[in-house]
Structure 1
Amino acid sequence: MTTSVALGFSRSERVTALAMGCVALMMLGLQPALLGTLIEQHRISMQGVGVVAMGEIFSLGIGVVLAEKLLPLQHIRAVAVIGCVLLAAVNLLTLGVHGDAACAAMRVLAGLLEASLFWITTIVIVRSREPDRLAGIFLTVQTLTQALVMLSIARLPLQFMGWQAGFMVLALVCILPLSVIHRLPRQVGSHTDAVMPSLVSLRGLFVLLVPLAHMSAIGTLWAYLEPLSKNAGVVGRDADTLVALVLLMQVVGGSVAALAVRRWRMTPALLSSAAVVVVVGLAIHQFSTPHPWAFTALCAALGFVWLFQLPFHIRLAFEIDPRGRIALLVPPAQLLGSGLGPLAASLSVHGEDVRRIPLIAAAFAVCVVVALWLVRYRAPSGNDRGVLAGGGHIK
């Protein structure tokens, strides 16, 4: 599976580009722990945590689309240097802000800087040969990196840094890639021959609804994992370890998906992962007393399906549009979904009450099923004719 602008990047160029994405998405994996710390320090409120999480993720998703239009493809190394340095500075500056609005503004700025780095990863993945497989590899490596950083924060003796340890470690991670930026590719094509984003048809919109709804469901639970885990009896260092466990289960799910994305039927895989999220949400909602082990098992299942289904989003997009125009919009759709979920969930939070959060996540997962039905059964038209109908390319 290749796009019309597939380029022969070297292994070191691909690895370095994926490293940029690992830095760009690092905060998304650490959000429950780091935002939970800001809540404990009364820097943000429980009602505001969804807005703060949403702001960063939304700006990241929209920023990737804007970067494809505005940033110079011939100077991606300079973009990487500036992005890494400024992102490290913004992560440190976050420690000095107070209030939901100020923190949200700071994290929106961080999201735009993260977008400049994730844009580099996106263009290399989409313009590589076998982009769906490379996406699966990236997701696995990125999440493994998040898990290792989270374990370091949770288990290493960082008490001398105080409550600021998480953001200080995050800033350090942003600086580390500067040593390998010279290995980024010099040539990634031009805007004139690039695969420009396009929905192609109404079916293209339905395809993007799948990752949008999927990640809205997962993002809802992820952003509120800290208060949900506290209600389930998982507190203190155990809560930080739970975050690392979820990240490690993402690695397992992503590894399985990287091997299975070409072999397994796509629609059953996506439907099954959506069904798991529905079950997780409904089960957590049923907890009336603390059940730490059951909650941990449900979170592990959530972590597995999280990354398992992402490469199938890329494959679905390429099935509809082999030129890769829809595929280029899948990462932004996933990110926007990750922000939409917490935003919708924040509207249901009253004080410390987060009981409705799992139900909202389950509802978003049901929307995945609806979106897949629209993709599968809507009458084909335009460039989509023959895809999904007759030949039944979507399986």
Structure 2
Amino acid sequence: MNPVTIFGAMVIGTASLLSLGVLPILLGGLDEVGRLSKAGIGQAAMFELFGLALGSAAGGYWMGRGAMRLKTVAAGLALAVVNVATAHSGSGVIILLDRAVAGLLGGLLFGAANAIIVRSNNPDRLTGILVGASVAPQIGLAYLIPVVLIPKFGIEAGFYALAAGAMAAAAFAVTLVDRVAIHVASERTRISFSGPLMLFCIGTVLQSGGLGAAWTYIERVANQHGLSPSIVGLAFSSALAGQVAAAWLSAWVVPKIAKWPTLFSLVLAQTVFTAVAVQIALPTAFVVSVCVFASAAAAAQAFQMAEIVRLDVTRKAAVLILPMILFGNGLGPLLASFATTEVDVLGGCWVAVAMSAISLLLYVVCAAVSARRRLTSPVEAKATLGS
């Protein structure tokens, strides 16, 4: 794949995910001005992330079948319009619909990037690079939106910033190809939905759901703990910086170290430190725990891509791994919203802890079943030795 095309895919993928790092700030801001309830925070996040998951799943196939450049321009411009519409929406219901459409359009953009990445020679490494690259601009926005943009221009300015990102994605469409090549030997076969693959997919949805629930409500948790806005800003910026470092580190080491033990450790860290953020109201503990659970989840994605490629050699499931993560990111806030009230949001984050813990259990079972199957298949055992 042409390096310019891969770079363009990285930029477009980054722009498509721009809202993820600042979604709690923007939705919390809508709550502050009375345009969204606390339960609505989780629901809006769910709608946007479900839209991202659906759009990226469909886009991974549809965007690459032809006219990818034109489709990317159209999706980018439409996403910019929807973000501007959200900025001026006064109704909670309209906001939910706006975010659902924004998620769907962002998902199509991400699908274009993903279609290129998973068909490269190093999809696991490029996934880690994309995760880190997508978080980098979120760090700047996580500071600018609450500290500069909202105080000066209101909550609307945050959505205008997202619109600018969508315009950038449209501009970089020229770097893409119009159609992606198909892996002749693999993509003309169906996905083999084996037991280990199904366990892995469910575990991945729950793990990302745990992150989505925690990330969506953590700003409200800090507010309930009585932590200052500066501590909240420090926690978010540190977490986003940690995600960049963790994702790029995992992209570098994923070919060199055992996949399952590393994935177990990362999901365990996500589970434990989410619980610490909910339970302990000390500023330092809060900042560190948010940074660790967010970074662990970001680092896990390269290992998740590596494992799903091994579990399904057709790579069709690999096209769905990032949409599955986004689906989980949306499912988590939805489930968490049922455990929150207008005066207590801690229950939502305990839902996040439970989802992460269950995902760890499913990964352990998946690894055990997969190892047993490899023992009965010498060819596969040799091919996957050390995984």
TM-score of the aligned structures, taking structure 1 as reference length: 0.90
Residues 210, 313 of structure 1: 8 Å contact kept: no
Residue 372 of structure 1 deviates from its aligned partner by 1.3
Q: How far apart, CA to CA, are the structure 2 residues paired with 1:212 and 1:393?
A: 26
SS at match of 1:211: helix
Residue 237 of structure 1 deviates from its aligned partner by 4.5
Q: How far apart, CA to CA, are the structure 1 residues paired with 2:339 and 2:146?
A: 30
Structure 1 residues 282, 193: closer, same or farther in 2, change over 3 A? same
SS at match of 1:106: helix
2:100 aligned with 1:108, yes or no? yes
2:113 aligned with 1:121, yes or no? yes
Residue 204 of structure 1 deviates from its aligned partner by 1.7
Q: How far apart, CA to CA, are the structure 2 residues paired with 1:205 and 1:65?
A: 17
The counterpart of 2:364, out of the listed 370, 373, 378, is 373
Residue 285 of structure 1 deviates from its aligned partner by 3.4
Residues 236, 291 of structure 2: 8 Å contact kept: no
Deviation string 1:59-113 (CA, Å, 9 cap, x unpaired) is: 1112222234544622110011111111011001002223432211111100110
Q: Supply the RMSD in Å over aligned alpha carbons.
A: 2.5
Residues 211, 352 of structure 2: 8 Å contact kept: yes
Residues 52, 107 of structure 2: 8 Å contact kept: yes
SS at match of 1:351: coil
Superposed, which structure 2 residues align to 1:127-276 within 5 Å? Answer: 127-156=119-148, 159-189=151-181, 195=187, 198-276=191-269
SS at match of 1:326: helix
Residues 83, 117 of structure 1: 8 Å contact kept: yes
94-103 vs 184-193, greater mean Cα deviation? 184-193
Residue 276 of structure 1 deviates from its aligned partner by 1.0
Residue 162 of structure 1 deviates from its aligned partner by 2.2
Identity over aligned pairs, percent: 25
Structure 1 residues 161, 191: closer, same or farther in 2, change over 3 A? farther
304-313 vs 57-66, greater mean Cα deviation? 57-66
Q: How far apart, CA to CA, are the structure 2 residues paired with 1:316 and 1:346?
A: 31
2:294 equivalent in structure 1 = 303
Q: How far apart, CA to CA, are the structure 1 residues paired with 2:245 and 2:111?
A: 25
Q: How far apart, CA to CA, are the structure 2 residues paired with 1:285 and 1:199?
A: 40
2:74 equivalent in structure 1 = 82
SS at match of 2:341: coil
Residue 190 of structure 1 deviates from its aligned partner by 5.8
Residue 146 of structure 1 deviates from its aligned partner by 1.5
For structure 2, the 5+ residue unaligned runs are none
The counterpart of 1:96, out of the listed 60, 78, 88, is 88
The counterpart of 2:319, out of the listed 324, 328, 353, is 328
Residue 386 of structure 1 deviates from its aligned partner by 5.6
1:313 equivalent in structure 2 = 304
2:271 aligned with 1:278, yes or no? yes
Residues 67, 119 of structure 1: 8 Å contact kept: yes
Residue 16 of structure 1 deviates from its aligned partner by 0.4
TM-score of the aligned structures, taking structure 2 as reference length: 0.92
Structure 1 residues 181, 71: closer, same or farther in 2, change over 3 A? closer
SS at match of 2:315: coil
Residue 155 of structure 1 deviates from its aligned partner by 4.4
* One-letter identity of the residue aligned with 1:161: F
Higher fraction of helix: 2
Residues 69, 174 of structure 2: 8 Å contact kept: yes
Q: How far apart, CA to CA, are the structure 1 residues paired with 2:262 and 2:185?
A: 34
Residue 202 of structure 1 deviates from its aligned partner by 2.7
The counterpart of 1:356, out of the listed 347, 361, 373, is 347
15-24 vs 150-159, greater mean Cα deviation? 150-159
Structure 1 residues 85, 193: closer, same or farther in 2, change over 3 A? farther
Residue 388 of structure 1 deviates from its aligned partner by 7.7
Q: How far apart, CA to CA, are the structure 1 residues paired with 2:276 and 2:263?
A: 20
2:43 equivalent in structure 1 = 51
Q: How far apart, CA to CA, are the structure 1 residues paired with 2:89 and 2:98?
A: 8
Residue 389 of structure 1 deviates from its aligned partner by 6.3
Residues 153, 165 of structure 1: 8 Å contact kept: yes
1:346 equivalent in structure 2 = 337
Q: How far apart, CA to CA, are the structure 2 residues paired with 1:152 and 1:227?
A: 19
SS at match of 1:264: coil
Q: How far apart, CA to CA, are the structure 1 residues paired with 2:386 and 2:207?
A: 18
Residues 274, 349 of structure 2: 8 Å contact kept: yes
Q: How far apart, CA to CA, are the structure 2 residues paired with 1:344 and 1:198?
A: 29
* One-letter identity of the residue aligned with 1:170: L
* One-letter identity of the residue aligned with 1:52: A
137-146 vs 240-249, greater mean Cα deviation? 240-249
1:3 equivalent in structure 2 = none
Residue 283 of structure 1 deviates from its aligned partner by 1.9
Q: How far apart, CA to CA, are the structure 2 residues paired with 1:158 and 1:38?
A: 11
SS at match of 1:180: helix
194-203 vs 303-312, greater mean Cα deviation? 194-203
Q: How far apart, CA to CA, are the structure 2 residues paired with 1:329 and 1:188?
A: 16
1:25 equivalent in structure 2 = 17
For structure 1, the 5+ residue unaligned runs are 1-8
* One-letter identity of the residue aligned with 2:171: S
